[in-house]
């Protein structure tokens, strides 16, 4: 067992989850999201490509880990759970149209006498498919199913001091990653090579802090590909004069992310790009100044819109989102979104990526800031220059 937090911290998280279950009328919670599994038990492995999860019951002390047989030793090695609460299923449940792992979960629930209960499922989570839902409904006709999507994620929204420490370490790695990326962009160099350097920096980390694998690959498109938000580098292309390159990267420390976006231009940036950069960079500063406990997510977005009003910049997509602990495919937590209608009140310990990415039809511009809500305002995790980097 190699935990990165005290067992008491995992238990406190579990207590908060049970408190939320109680408020929502959920007696048994089936957790499928690997980040939520890690958050509550420490479980850490690339086994989420098959069905796995936790079962948490209000009146049962520990979460029950269930997963594929070959991963049970991984659960023993990485979680604080008693081995009795690690329940492996036989290998023929894997990708088999005749047998579904949710039948195995239903067996556990029946064995525990929980088959008639109010059961929460992470209904809109990648790791809980339509088939999972239908199998559970068929197996447990007496149960009452509740949508518990993001129930655990909302607990994750407010970070403990120990979590914030890891994110600050991830920020150090992130700074190194972003520097490496900017340094690696050179006329005549393959985009693949720059991306390889970025990955190397992310994984190796700094002399002080080792890194980790990212939940989103390095988003570093060039030229017309910067008009889209989620394209990667072009493997066989070499950088050339006049290139614009977006860098949406991160540092990771024990699955805790710190993301950051910047823009590079090879040569003298065109006027239009400089104008957009000025507006966005000014808007970021004004928005950060406004953030403190008590203001809402939508008020932050409104402040941003006020700051850029009168300019030609428009930003129809959300301005930011909560981030932290995660696995592929997203470092976002699927809770807070900085946009109209999101009435989440900022509280100390929230970590949000202020990401006013601008994607026009011909090119894009990115400059972002991950921040921590503090007792009196907010602080950014990095102090990386906000500007167009030129080469």
Whether 365 and 264 have beta carbons less than 8 Å apart is answered as no
Asked whether position 222 contacts its own copies by CB under 8 A, the answer is no
Q: State the minimum distance, in angstroms, from the CB of residue 245 to its own copies.
A: 15
Asked whether position 232 contacts its own copies by CB under 8 A, the answer is yes
Asked whether position 126 contacts its own copies by CB under 8 A, the answer is yes
Residue matched to tokens 């009168």: 310
Closest CA to 27 of 145, 154, 150: 145
Asked whether position 103 contacts its own copies by CB under 8 A, the answer is no
Give me 249's structure tokens. Answer: 């990267």
Paired with 178 in beta bridges are none
Q: State the minimum distance, in angstroms, from the CB of residue 160 to its own copies.
A: 20
Closest CA to 211 of 223, 198, 230: 198
Kindly give, in sequence order, each residue whose CB lies less than 8 Å from that of residue 297, ignoring residues fewer than 6 positions away: 336, 337, 338, 339, 342, 343, 344, 346
Listed ranges 86-94, 112-120, 266-274, 347-355: which one lies at the site for its own copies (CB under 8 A): 86-94
User: How many residues bind its own copies, per CB under 8 A?
Assistant: 89
Task: Figure out which of the listed residues 3, 58, 112, 231 binds its own copies, where binding follows CB under 8 A.
Answer: 231
Task: Figure out which of the listed residues 58, 133, 182, 281 binds its own copies, where binding follows CB under 8 A.
Answer: 133
x/- contact string, 321-360, with its own copies (CB under 8 A)?
x------xxx-x-x--x-xxx---------------x-x-
Q: State the minimum distance, in angstroms, from the CB of residue 379 to its own copies.
A: 25
Listed ranges 11-19, 53-61, 213-221, 276-284: which one lies at the site for its own copies (CB under 8 A): 213-221
Q: In this complex, which beta carbon is closest to its own copies, that of residue 184 or of residue 287? A: 184
Backbone angles phi, psi at 298, to 5 degrees: -75, -30
Q: In this complex, which beta carbon is closest to its own copies, that of residue 116 or of residue 192? A: 192
Query: Interaction with its own copies in 240-259: which residues (CB under 8 A)?
Result: 254
Q: In this complex, which beta carbon is closest to its own copies, that of residue 14 or of residue 313? A: 313
CB atoms within 10 A of CB 212: 20
Backbone angles phi, psi at 286, to 5 degrees: -65, -35
Q: In this complex, which beta carbon is closest to its own copies, that of residue 27 or of residue 52? A: 52
The crossing angle, in degrees rounded to 10, of helices 130-139 and 101-112 is: 40
Asked whether position 3 contacts its own copies by CB under 8 A, the answer is no
Q: Which SS3 state, helix, strand or coil, does residue 207 take?
A: coil
Residue matched to tokens 């104008």: 275
Query: Interaction with its own copies in 256-315: which residues (CB under 8 A)?
Result: none
Q: State the minimum distance, in angstroms, from the CB of residue 376 to its own copies.
A: 29
x/- contact string, 32-61, with its own copies (CB under 8 A)?
------------xxxxxx------------
Whether 351 and 338 have beta carbons less than 8 Å apart is answered as no
Maximum distance among all alpha carbons in the chain?
A: 69
Listed ranges 116-124, 155-163, 290-298, 369-377: which one lies at the site for its own copies (CB under 8 A): 116-124
| Cα dihedral 285/288/290/296 (nearest 10) | 140
Give me 154's structure tokens. Answer: 């909302």
Asked whether position 206 contacts its own copies by CB under 8 A, the answer is no
Whether 10 and 42 have beta carbons less than 8 Å apart is answered as yes
Task: Figure out which of the listed residues 19, 25, 96, 162 binds its own copies, where binding follows CB under 8 A.
Answer: 96
Q: In this complex, which beta carbon is closest to its own copies, that of residue 14 or of residue 322? A: 322
CA distances from 246 to 39, 115, 220, 234, 317 (A): 31, 51, 5, 12, 17
Q: In this complex, which beta carbon is closest to its own copies, that of residue 14 or of residue 315? A: 315
CB atoms within 10 A of CB 142: 7
Q: In this complex, which beta carbon is closest to its own copies, that of residue 172 or of residue 339? A: 339
Backbone angles phi, psi at 30, to 5 degrees: -100, 115
Q: In this complex, which beta carbon is closest to its own copies, that of residue 102 or of residue 378? A: 102
Task: Figure out which of the listed residues 14, 151, 171, 195 binds its own copies, where binding follows CB under 8 A.
Answer: 195
């Amino acid at each position: 067992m190699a935990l990165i937090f005290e067992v008491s911290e995992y238990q406190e998280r579990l207590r908060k989850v049970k408190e939320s279950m109680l408020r929502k009328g959920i007696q048994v919670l089936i957790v499928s999201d690997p980040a939520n599994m890690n958050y509550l038990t420490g479980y850490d492995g690339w086994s989420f490509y098959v069905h796995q999860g936790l079962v948490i019951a209000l009146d049962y002390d520990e979460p029950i880990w269930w997963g594929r047989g070959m991963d049970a030793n991984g659960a023993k090695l990485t979680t604080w759970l008693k081995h009795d609460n690690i329940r492996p299923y036989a290998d023929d449940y894997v990708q088999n149209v005749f047998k579904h792992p949710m039948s195995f979960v239903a067996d556990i629930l029946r064995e525990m006498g929980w088959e008639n209960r109010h059961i929460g499922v992470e209904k809109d989570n990648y790791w809980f498919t339509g088939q999972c839902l239908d199998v559970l409904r068929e197996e447990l006709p007496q149960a009452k199913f509740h949508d518990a999507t993001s129930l655990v994620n909302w607990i994750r929204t407010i970070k403990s001091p120990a979590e914030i420490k890891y994110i600050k370490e991830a920020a150090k790695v992130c700074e190194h990653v972003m520097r490496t990326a900017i340094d690696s962009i050179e006329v005549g160099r393959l985009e693949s090579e720059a991306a390889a350097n970025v990955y190397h920096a992310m994984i190796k980390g700094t002399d002080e802090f080792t890194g980790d694998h990212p939940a989103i690959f390095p988003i570093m498109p060039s030229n017309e590909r910067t008009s889209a938000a989620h394209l990667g580098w072009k493997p066989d292309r070499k950088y050339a004069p006049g290139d614009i390159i977006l860098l949406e990267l991160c540092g990771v420390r024990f699955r805790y992310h710190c993301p950051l976006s910047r823009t590079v231009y090879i040569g003298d940036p065109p006027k239009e790009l400089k104008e957009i950069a000025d507006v966005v960079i000014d808007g970021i500063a004004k928005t950060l100044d406004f953030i403190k406990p008590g203001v809402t997510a939508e008020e932050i977005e409104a402040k941003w819109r006020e700051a850029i009003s009168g300019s030609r910049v428009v930003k129809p997509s959300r301005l930011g989102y909560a981030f932290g602990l995660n696995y592929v495919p997203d470092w976002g937590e699927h809770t807070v979104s900085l946009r109209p209608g999101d009435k989440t009140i900022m509280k100390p310990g929230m970590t949000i990526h202020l990401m006013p990415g601008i994607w026009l039809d011909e090119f894009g511009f990115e400059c972002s800031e991950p921040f921590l809500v503090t007792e009196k305002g907010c602080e950014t995790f990095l102090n990386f220059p906000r500007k167009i980097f030129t080469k």
